[in-house]
Structure 1
Amino acid sequence: MMENIQHKHVEVRGLKLHVAEIGSGPKAVVFLHGFPEIWYTWRHQMVAVADRGYRALTIDFRGYGLSEQPADPEKDTFIDLVHDIVALLDFLAINKAFLIGKDFGAFPAYMVAALHPERVSGVVTLGVPFMLPGPSAIQNHLLPEGFYMSRWQEPGRAEADFGRFDVKTVIRNIYILFSRSEIPIAAPDQEIMDLFDPATPLPPGFSEEDLDVYASLYEKSGFRYPLRVPYRTLAVDCGITDPKVSTPSLLIVGEKDYVLKFPGMEDYIRTGAVKNFVPDLEITFIEEGSHFVHEQLVEKVNQLILAFLDKHAI
């Protein structure tokens, strides 16, 4: 049950990171959130894997939610998240863990597996296949100028856009926009927040109470770090050459996830080209699944994750 999730702060590389944990035992599962998510996005999955006998852990990434902000966020890149995850495993004396990443959380999950294969039992990602940060990660130039990532990568633009609203409204807007099957793209005379229609209800599986939790955590951290990592560092080369992930992996994709419409994305997944980097990869499509499939279709996603963990747990 949710109320059994324990919370603590762990000092990792000079920063106190917020860690939520439930369950015990030698087999650990570490969940990595995306944006606009936070540790709480994994509430259903944490309980399910703990009930199956695993130790479930999730963090707020540095600069997010209840975790501390680095002194100079503008210097950080994805590799900082990778080092944090490995340092956290060291601190908690976890030799090997499953990593489960959603949205941009898929990047550090796979980067840890590529750089430290001995520490990873398996990788599960939701919505985002194996990719590395770098100039070719997302082909912004193939999308209109109002593509939300291009807008948010422009210094000061998202800050001004978000700053017109309270944090809860910003999270609500992004959550609803990202639940659709269309890529959020603004017209030239619009900002991303202008795409939102206040009459739109929250998506299934996400209540006003859930929104309150998300909002309270982002009220603490603000958006400075999230705009830096992932968005403004997505094109920064992470220094990994000739990447191979030998770890067993699972990719869960909602057919209605807007990310599938990114240029080249669906081909990369459906043709199996992604297996050039992750040879031991299972790919599962969920027909009605949105970008937030793990909150929307909880039982289905939990079953897929548990089957994968049980198959590869040693």
Structure 2
Amino acid sequence: MNKIHSSLIEVTLLPNSPLSLSLTSLNSMQKIQHRHVEVRGLKLHVAEIASGTKVVLFLHGFPEIWYTWRHQMIAVANAGYRAIAIDFRGYGLSDEPAEPEKATFNDLVEDIVSLLDSLGINKAFLIGKDFGAIPAYMVAAVHPERVSGVITLGVPFMLPGPSAIQNHLLPEGFYVSRWQEPGRAEADFGRFDVKTVIRNIYTLFSSSEVPVAAETQEIMDLFDLSAPLPPWLSEEDLSVYTSLYEKSGFRFALQVPYRTLNVDHGIADPKIKARSLLIMGEKDYVLKFPGMEEYIRSGVVKHFVPDLDIKFMPEGNHFVHEQLPEQVNELIITFLDKHSI
């Protein structure tokens, strides 16, 4: 096991610590295996538990990593599925490409398909959180034969392109706009250590309000130093995220998703044939993006994803799968069982 992973698991499994892993036994966490798989010239970090032909591939968002799926991986493995979570290229323990600034979402799509090929997997359920929803649906659009179903959390169907997020309808200090500006987030984040940046983002983005900085502020300035960690995120969890981002840094994360979000990938009039599920917390700040809640609640999203079920969780925030894992796991497993062959 990679040295970072060894220390990572040691930190996570401290006896008598207030772990957010309350739903997962220590033995189950220890059963998650870690390896690197060569994909398109890069070594991607793969976490995996259980085996068999029914496969679930988990795709993280930002500032997340494979570990964000710890509760879900063990739950679906216990339900009879092979659970795989990756660090995307440039994240965590996966290799970074030689020229990160040239990367786009297409790289993630091709990595996913190539990874399935490398692992000998014909089809998989794809579960994407935050920006991980985008490549999940892109794979379903371009390679429908490889997808058993799609579940997304926090972000509905959308494709990269000029209309992906209507930045111009939000104030200049909208976090996406700020992070798309070359050098700005680097300078903002660079004022702090990695642990502080991750703590700040997790805490800020757990709110129901869209993070928007004033003209004289940066996004990190929005953080209240007296604010505690969310109750579902322990100091041990934070240490795991920190160790992984200390390894990779934020260079690739700022390119994909943020600085490639407006790049059109030429998927014209997409129709997703895969059975799909969207899980949204009603207190998720993403619902306050211009037009987002109407897009979901009015059913317009079903123009692109006809076979879509939508579940709202009244108390859920943007990190609903970590915040309310039991409820999310039940929704996921019900969907998987219904649509497994």
Q: TM-score range by the shorter chain?
A: over 0.9
Cα separation, 2, equivalents of 1:24 and 1:51: 11
- Which residue of structure 1 lines up, in the alignment, with residue 325 of structure 2? 298
Q: Name 1:166's counterpart in structure 2.
A: 193
Residue matched to 2:119? 92
Alignment of 1:185 with 2:212, yes or no, is: yes
Match of 2:38, SS? strand
CA deviation digits over 1:33-73, x for unaligned, max 9?
Answer: 00000000000000000001100001000000000000001
Q: What is the one-letter code of the residue matched to 2:43?
A: K
Q: 1:66 aligns with which of 73, 81, 93?
A: 93
Partner of 2:109: 82
Q: Which 5+ residue runs of structure 2 have no aligned equivalent?
A: 1-27
Distance in 2, matches of 1:223 and 1:212, equals 16
Q: TM-score, normalised by structure 1?
A: 1.00
2:298 alignment partner AA: T
Secondary structure of the residue that 2:216 maps to in structure 1?
A: coil
1:242 shift after superposition = 1.3
- Matched residues in 1 for 2:326 and 2:43: separation? 33
Aligned position for 1:139: 166
Q: CA RMSD in A?
A: 0.4
Aligned to 1:57: 84
The runs of 4+ residues in structure 1 deviating greater than 3 Å are none
Q: Which amino acid letter does the alignment assign opposite residue 275 of structure 1?
A: K
**2:295 paired with 1:265:** no
Can you list the C-alpha shifts for 1:240-272, whole angstroms capped at 9, x where unaligned? 111110000000000000000000000000000
Matched, 1:11 2:38: yes
Tell me the CA shift for residue 207 of structure 1: 0.4
1:196 aligns with 2:223: yes
How far, CA to CA, are the matches of 1:51 and 1:238 in structure 2?
Answer: 37
- Aligned-pair identity in percent equals 79
**AA in 2 matched with 1:131:** M
Aligned counterpart, 2:239: 212
Q: Secondary structure of 2:331's match?
A: helix
AA of the residue aligned to 1:254: G
Q: Distance in 1 between matches of 2:145 and 2:254?
A: 31
SS at 2:141 equivalent = helix
Task: Give the aligned residue type for 2:154.
Answer: G
Alignment size in residue pairs: 314
Aligned partners of 1:299 and 1:204: how far apart in 2?
A: 15
The residue number in structure 2 matching 1:308 is 335
1:26 equivalenced with 2:53 (yes/no): yes
Tell me, in whole angstroms, the C-alpha distance in 2 between the residues paired with 1:3 and 1:242. 44
SS at match of 2:327: helix
**Counterpart in the other structure of 2:249:** 222
Match of 2:29 in 1: 2
Query: Pairwise mapping of residues 95-114 of structure 1 onto structure 2 (< 5 A)?
Result: 95-114=122-141
**Structure 1 counterpart of 2:314:** 287
SS at match of 2:217: coil
Aligned AA (1:302): N
CA offset at residue 204 of structure 1?
A: 2.4
Segments of structure 1 that go 5 or more residues without pairing to the other structure are: none
